[in-house]
Structure 1
């Protein structure tokens, strides 16, 4: 078994594909258990609006087959959009993702929290073990160091702030605009913070549970009101700006609902921003007159502000990531030597016990202690040196490497085999 990453992101797959292969918060626990039981010894699933990645201890092809089967797709359908990494590349990729070096917005900080959430979910399902636990400890350490010692995350334009700017382009000042936020998760809370600061006429938070919507409203300055998702068909027409980001597996706002709302708006435009994957708003809603619908993939140009300055800082960040990768690989190699070290110590313990038992028997028969100790030391020395002496005498393998290894182990003066031949 080895560490493997299989994934797709905004660079390799369009939104229509990403949403088919995403995992919602509701399905993630069951998916982790199933992946762990059928395709991977350890597993962490990271699923965001821009990427879905499976960090595993297992074989890439088996993980790809599981992923396709889980979403009732064929491997041939999804393979063109996937990338996979072996052990060392997995370490490097995980570090780059956590540092924001692989994000749509170079240096964006939100991905680190999403990775920590993914690891937390894996721990809750007991799908993470020694290897992935060590990987993500090193990954989070790298991210902390990069963000504290470089400016790669400076001047980033988030999806939330970009959404506000796009709405302002359409409506100008927002103080006469009604804003509807669908969902109450981290992304919507970020969006809500930006829009609340623009002092719109009204903010409403719609969520599956009223309590969570109310909790978000209570954290906003300027006041906001909660409502249930079931109220949307009757309320949608009241809102000029609608931003949605939920974990729903199917669209919440359909084309028919949008058509009905627009019929009651008297020609006023409506700005729809869908930040969810899978999408919350039916793509066909864009066909309705007066509707301006945007998705995460439409926002690429908006979030590139300051990218050149961050790219210069990214070079230093890449060097720090490379160092963390080397540290992890060295740790991994040391872990792989543990079984050999344990076996060597076990063999030494067996030899010790054997000569000790012989010594005890000799003492019981009345032998002089000095003689017993002398015999014990000779027997133990012979037993411990028998195997390396036999191998050296037979000259097995690369003799030069063998001589060097034994010389290093026992701190002996190194003598090259060619020199021995001249003696």
Structure 2
């Protein structure tokens, strides 16, 4: 297994967004990978990472990524991280558990991994290996969230944004949210409603805003409401700007302070709006410093989670080793007794993955020697 990763640790949001494919483009990408000989692949795209998980060699994946994202391949290589074999499995387990996120232990990533995995599985791009690995990583992440306080104390980008808005001004604030029907936008809205000091205006296209505590307004009328807003949040999945400098400038806004928060990848809000007096813009990357502080407070819980992760990953690696050597067991006619099979299973359960792999290697060597003497 390999992983090709473009994430927040090395790449800025404006570069990551170039590799953020919609579902139609994902299918094209996965199909082209299959044409290149990759029978198993999962493509994960979130606000903070774009990653390809697969079986085989990663070099051809990089070239295809650069081509489909229309970026220079050398520039892409400089910002990629590569993992293979056990390192790739460990990376997936850490990502699923929220250990590799900007906000340590955040919950959104597990759902995003499930979605990415099922997208590939439902479209025929996974088999035994990736199915087993992804299912084990998802199961492990759930166990960590249940058995540690990491999830209970985690702070997502959505809650960080809501906290920023809550502390932005005293008293009631008028907040417009674009993308409130999406995962991130909805969580921002729910967090703000829990504070009780915000009047929410949520834009809609065709989806109805079901929360009775938020006023639903047509997306096409968004600029008409901005004059009265204290905060404007955008968290859509569209490929176009929701707010542009030109349109905003034409409103002739007064110079009171307004906070714009862009939680989308690709970006939703034109950076040039900061040229307008009183306009402050915060993007996902700007939450990094806050996230780091929250991460520091949760390191102890992460250590407990790491112990669970190591045990779960060890069980997975033993299972994969066992599966990959089934034919060898079938050939060991001399040893195929119920007692021996019981011994093998018992050994697998008690040994570490490295010990079990060594055991299998020794048995294979014994079989090779026996074949040579026949």
1:6 counterpart residue number: 4
Q: Which of residues 132, 135, 149 in structure 1 aligns to 2:133?
A: 135
1:308 counterpart residue number: 296
2:17 counterpart residue number: 19
Partner SS for 2:277: coil
Query: Contact (CA 8 Å) 2:106, 2:156: kept in 1 or not?
Result: yes
2:215 counterpart residue number: 224
- Stretch moving more, 20-29 or 50-59: 20-29
Q: Hey, what's the Cα distance between the residues in 1 that align with 2:266 and 2:72?
A: 19
The TM-score normalised by the length of structure 1 is 0.74
- Stretch moving more, 34-43 or 117-126: 34-43
For residues 269-308 of structure 1, the aligned pairs below 5 Å read 269-308=257-296
Q: Structure 1 pair 186/135, CA: closer, same or farther in 2 (3 Å)? A: same
Greater Rg by CA: 1
1:185 counterpart residue number: 182
User: After superposition, what is the alpha-carbon deviation per residue over 1:184-214, rounded to whole angstroms, capped at 9, x for unaligned?
Assistant: 211111011012234456422224x32x2x1
- Stretch moving more, 299-308 or 101-110: 299-308
User: After superposition, what is the alpha-carbon deviation per residue over 1:296-317, rounded to whole angstroms, capped at 9, x for unaligned?
Assistant: 1101222345433420121122
Q: Hey, what's the Cα distance between the residues in 2 that align with 1:231 and 1:37?
A: 45
1:146 counterpart residue number: 144
> What is the total number of aligned residue pairs between the two structures?
343
User: After superposition, what is the alpha-carbon deviation per residue over 1:329-355, rounded to whole angstroms, capped at 9, x for unaligned?
Assistant: 22222222134445678xx9xxxxxxx
Q: Structure 1 pair 403/61, CA: closer, same or farther in 2 (3 Å)? A: closer
Q: Please report how far the alpha carbon of residue 161 of structure 1 lies from its aligned counterpart in structure 2 after TM superposition.
A: 2.0
For residues 16-415 of structure 1, the aligned pairs below 5 Å read 16-25=14-23, 27-38=25-36, 40-173=38-171, 175-199=172-196, 202-207=199-204, 209-210=205-206, 212=207, 214=208, 217-218=209-210, 220-228=211-219, 230-261=220-251, 263=252, 265-341=253-329, 405=366
**RMSD of aligned C-alpha atoms?**
2.7
Q: Hey, what's the Cα distance between the residues in 1 that align with 2:128 and 2:364?
A: 35
Q: Hey, what's the Cα distance between the residues in 2 that align with 1:56 and 1:402?
A: 29
Query: Contact (CA 8 Å) 1:181, 1:203: kept in 2 or not?
Result: no
- Stretch moving more, 106-115 or 245-254: 245-254
Partner SS for 2:152: coil
Q: Hey, what's the Cα distance between the residues in 2 that align with 1:241 and 1:234?
A: 14
Q: Please report how far the alpha carbon of residue 156 of structure 1 lies from its aligned counterpart in structure 2 after TM superposition.
A: 2.1
Q: Hey, what's the Cα distance between the residues in 1 that align with 2:363 and 2:82?
A: 38
> Gaps spanning 5+ residues in structure 2: where?
337-361
Q: Please report how far the alpha carbon of residue 84 of structure 1 lies from its aligned counterpart in structure 2 after TM superposition.
A: 1.0
Query: Contact (CA 8 Å) 1:9, 1:50: kept in 2 or not?
Result: yes
Partner SS for 2:50: strand
Q: Hey, what's the Cα distance between the residues in 1 that align with 2:254 and 2:72?
A: 46
Q: Please report how far the alpha carbon of residue 70 of structure 1 lies from its aligned counterpart in structure 2 after TM superposition.
A: 0.9
Q: Hey, what's the Cα distance between the residues in 2 that align with 1:191 and 1:402?
A: 57
Q: Structure 1 pair 292/338, CA: closer, same or farther in 2 (3 Å)? A: same
1:365 counterpart residue number: none
Q: Please report how far the alpha carbon of residue 402 of structure 1 lies from its aligned counterpart in structure 2 after TM superposition.
A: 8.7
Q: Structure 1 pair 243/35, CA: closer, same or farther in 2 (3 Å)? A: farther
Query: Contact (CA 8 Å) 2:174, 2:228: kept in 1 or not?
Result: no
1:352 counterpart residue number: none
Partner SS for 1:41: coil
